[in-house]
Amino acid sequence: MTETETETSTADLLVREGDIAGDYLETLLDIADVDGDIDMDVEGDRAMVAIVGDGLDALVGPNGATLDALQELTRLAVVQQTGVRSRLMLDIGGWRAKRKTELTEVGSRAAARVLESGEPVSLAPMTPFERKIVHDAIAAVDGVESESEGVEPERRVVVLPTAGR
């Protein structure tokens, strides 16, 4: 299989994941009697599915806990039909997009504190999704680096001055 054929088959699988997830979520919304539209996209190497509309807070839950659970259930529905592990990302009511902006700010502010003080900064415990966003924000700043430490659910990002600084 050529590289182009591999890319095409991967893209086809991601579109199929999105379609399966969309069908699953439409059924779930019908059962819960919740109004929402399903948007599907492919970004990089993952299917992105979003439920958009008003009054979706119950589907997000406190700190995105219900959203995380729905994402896992949706991934399981995809795996059941495709037989392939899914990295599908679900957003509801724009919650993940807003959270990404907030966490990028957290990472940037922590990096600035480390650059100013030269001392490590330990952040609050976060989910793997949240830590990745913070790590990415910190990676964009020269003079600092980050690592995760601890054990779930208390795993956190620590921001450090770059070695040799």
Q: What is the pLDDT of residues 85-114, one digit of tens each?
A: 999 999 999 999 999 999 999 999 999 999
Distance of CA 97 to the CA centre of its chain: 9
Q: Which residue has the higher pLDDT, 45 or 116?
A: 116
Domains of the chain in sequence order? 3-93 (3.30.300.20), 98-161 (3.30.1370.50)
In whole angstroms, what is the distance from residue 111 CA to residue 138 CA?
Answer: 6
Q: Which residue has the higher pLDDT, 11 or 48?
A: 48
Per DSSP bridges, beta strands 46-52 and 89-92 are parallel
Predicted confidence at residue 163, as pLDDT, reads: 78
Q: What is the pLDDT of residues 149-163, one digit of tens each?
A: 999 989 999 999 997
Predicted confidence at residue 10, as pLDDT, reads: 83
